[in-house]
Amino acid sequence: MGSSGKFFVGGNWKANGTKESVSKLVSGLNSAQFPSEVDVIVAPTFIHLPYVVENIDSRYQVSAQNCWVGRAGAYTGEIAPEQLTDMSVPWVILGHSERRSLLEEGNDFVGAKAANALTHGLKVIACIGETLEQRETGHMYDVLEGQLKGVADNVVNWTDVVVAYEPVWAIGTGKVATPDQAQEVHAFIRKWLAEKVSQEVSAATRIIYGGSVNDQNAAELASKGDVDGFLVGGASLKADAFATICNARAKVPA
């Protein structure tokens, strides 16, 4: 029932933001209040990372949205993990469904990227999730297991890994998994980690939910035992809404 770690809320800004809007968002986030026992991470675009690192309050941690599978070198357009750590960026999101579908990143490739990022000192938010067709045709757990295996086959130390379950059918669609649907899958992930990796990793790894999380549904989702936090898309671009989500666990009755 849940991880032993802090509640975790990540804000994935995706390919959004201008100098003006990012400055306004950072200002709003700096004024926001949330419990100290919550880890809050924001993930701007690559071009906005330096500004956010320098200007956001130290209560927040900063994440990149992707990184290269190898070391720095002749890889035009890519960002190597050691460049992120050099910029004081401690986190990276890997395996997001948009990269899996639009850029055809496979399970083994995502796993290799995760291992490489960890080797270079980054912490990883590893994303998994099924499409609506995969869910409705009964292949959901096979898909999730394959995505988890891609990470587990490559990662040795899970201390700095957070698993984000993001059903593809709920990302940017306004649809959201019911709290019971989210809990069912999170429990499956935790059981899989216990059986395929170790009981210790299962107990310690934070499993967070992503998929149209907003300030209206976050508290109910946070009430489920195996939901250790959220990876937030659109709502993370609004400081007030994101702050409400960061307080979701605090609103759950004891």
Q: Indicate which residues carry an active-site annotation.
A: 96, 166
Q: How many CB atoms lie within 10 A of CB 204?
A: 15
Provide the residue type at 71 as one letter. Answer: R
Rounded CA-CA distance 213/215 in Å is: 7
Residue from 46, 56, 42, 55 nearest 13 by CA: 42
Rounded CA-CA distance 221/200 in Å is: 24
Q: How many helices (H) and strands (E) does the chain have?
A: 11, 8
- Residues with Cβ < 8 Å from 213, sequence gap 6 or more? 176, 221, 230, 231, 232, 233, 235, 245
**Phi first, then psi: what are they for 176, rounded to 5°?**
-140, 140
